[in-house]
Copies of this chain bind each other. A is one copy, B any other.
Amino acid sequence: MSRAGRTRPAEEAAPTTAWRRPPGRPRDPMAEQRILDAAIEEYLAAGIAGFTMDRVARRAGVGKSTVYLRWPDKDTLLVESVLARSGGIEDVDTGSLRGDLVELAGNLMRFLLDPVGFASLRVAVESVATRPHRRVAIEIGERHLAAATRVFERARARGEHVDEHAATLLTDCIYGAVTIRVLRRGPDQHRAPDDADITNSCAALVDSLLPLLDR
């Protein structure tokens, strides 16, 4: 997620040394967010084809130099905008493994059905193919995986016996099936399905797969 720009205080490692503001006019702290927002809005409005640095800068009320000072090129800006927006795959904790998994699957499905969320899938797939951005895909993957991992850890902490292999399998199947099903219908099919529908179908999926844990 690090940008090419010069380091900022928060990211510095110097623990004891006092931080000295670099000389010159400091960067506008608002610009960053304004640009990210403008980028997402442009992307959502016009798709990847209409996504133009000039337009993003214009919409953000910012000069192009201000953009290029922070992101080295268009692709990077797009990727980071999407990532910044699709950020929080919040942790889930319903008390039971089944409940957690249903919630997890539901979250992913809701996420992918949202245009920005789906965009992060596009970005991930695209970045797998373009060497320099592969990191992005991995990061997105990790983020979702981490939530699943914690769910299983909590289950073990509760005393349930969960085989490591089975857990991985379950995760891949749940995430994979959800993804493939969303791909089959596309995001935001003009009207997303009812929240209850999502939960129901995810519950059915999880219930079908749960037996795998018992060998």
Contacts and interface: CB of A to CB of B under 8 A. Distances in A.
A205 interface: yes
Which residue, A134, A175, A187, has most C-beta atoms of chain B within 10 A?
A: A175
23 contacts: A47-B130, A118-B128, A119-B129, A121-B125, A122-B125, A122-B126, A122-B129, A124-B183, A125-B183, A128-B183, A128-B186, A129-B187, A134-B186, A166-B208, A169-B205, A172-B176, A173-B173, A176-B178, A176-B179, A176-B180, A179-B179, A179-B180, A211-B212
Contacts of A138: 184
A130 to B, nearest CB: 6
Interface of A: 47-48, 118-119, 121-122, 124-126, 128-130, 134, 137-138, 141, 166, 169, 172-173, 175-181, 183-184, 186-187, 205, 208-209, 211-212
A129 B125 contact: no
Nearest to A185: B128
Contacts of A183: 124-125, 128, 137, 141
Contact of A129 (B118, B172, B205): B118
A82 B137 CA distance: 22
A138 B189 CA distance: 14
Closest 3 CB pairs of A and B: A176-B176, A172-B177, A173-B173
